[in-house]
Amino acid sequence: MEIDKGALRHVLWIGGATDSGKTSVARALAERFGLQTYHYDLFDRETPPGHWSRIDPKQHPHMYATNVADRDWMWVDTTPEVLVQRWRDTVPERFGLTLQDLLAMPPHPPIVAEGYGITPSLVAPLLSTPHQAIWLISTEEVKRHIYVQRGKGRFIDTRDPERARANHMARDLLLADLIRTEAMSLDMPFIDIDGSQSLEEVTDTVAAHMAPVLRGGVSAN
């Protein structure tokens, strides 16, 4: 999907690994500055207007191939590396649907969009300024703590919940490394979430990075 980056200069992007506080920071930022929010996870579902309800086999072949009801195929009879590859194959298609969602929203007030499908390589060509985007990446210790705290990964609808949970956790840790590596290779800003900063402190750091945009200083190149 070809997009003129000027059409998205009102969008602030918060990407990163799962369980890194993206949603909380986006909400705090929106409340502080009166922004609209777009939460990727709310569209990562099969019920309309979720992305998985809008699959076109021709436009979204990878999403179509992985949109199966067999939870054992998805999470048990697999490996973390295969799960990462499926994610890498589908995330550009899902990002195209995200762009459709964002372009359908009013441009004022500005939008803060967050989600683990917002990757540095997908966002970089759309930026009018590097101050529009930042990535949050939790350390393994923080990830494991939040995973348990939130009661994630139960997978009771599979024949081997423990294996499914292990695959899910290992996939997420690999994704964190992948996103960090990608951000570094593209010289994109990121914050390692190691549990030493409060939500307010992380939000302050993100707000400081995005200050030129929040002050209305963005213009299309």
Domains, the chain, ranges and CATH?
A: 5-214 (3.40.50.300)
Q: Is the pLDDT higher at 208 or at 147?
A: 208
User: Could you tell me the pTM of the whole model?
Assistant: 0.93
Taking CB atoms within 8 Å and a gap of at least 24, the contacts of 101-105 are: 101/38, 101/43, 101/49, 102/8, 102/11, 102/38, 103/3, 103/7, 103/8, 105/36, 105/38
Q: What rounded mean pLDDT belongs to the chain?
A: 94
**Residue 3's pLDDT band (boundaries 50, 70, 90)?**
confident
Task: Answer whether 98's CB lies under 8 Å from 41's CB.
Answer: no
- For the segment 17-41, the average pLDDT, to the nearest whole number, is 96
pLDDT at 68 over 70: yes
Lowest mean pLDDT among 7-21, 30-44, 184-198, 204-218: 204-218
Residue 2 is predicted with a pLDDT of 66
Residue 149 is predicted with a pLDDT of 87
Rounded CA-CA distance 31/133 in Å is: 18
**Residue 153's pLDDT band (boundaries 50, 70, 90)?**
confident
pLDDT at 161 over 90: yes
In one letter, which amino acid is 131?
Answer: H
Residue 1 is predicted with a pLDDT of 59
CA distance readout (Å), 209 to 44, 206, 220: 28, 5, 18
pLDDT at 219 over 90: no
pLDDT at 64 over 70: yes
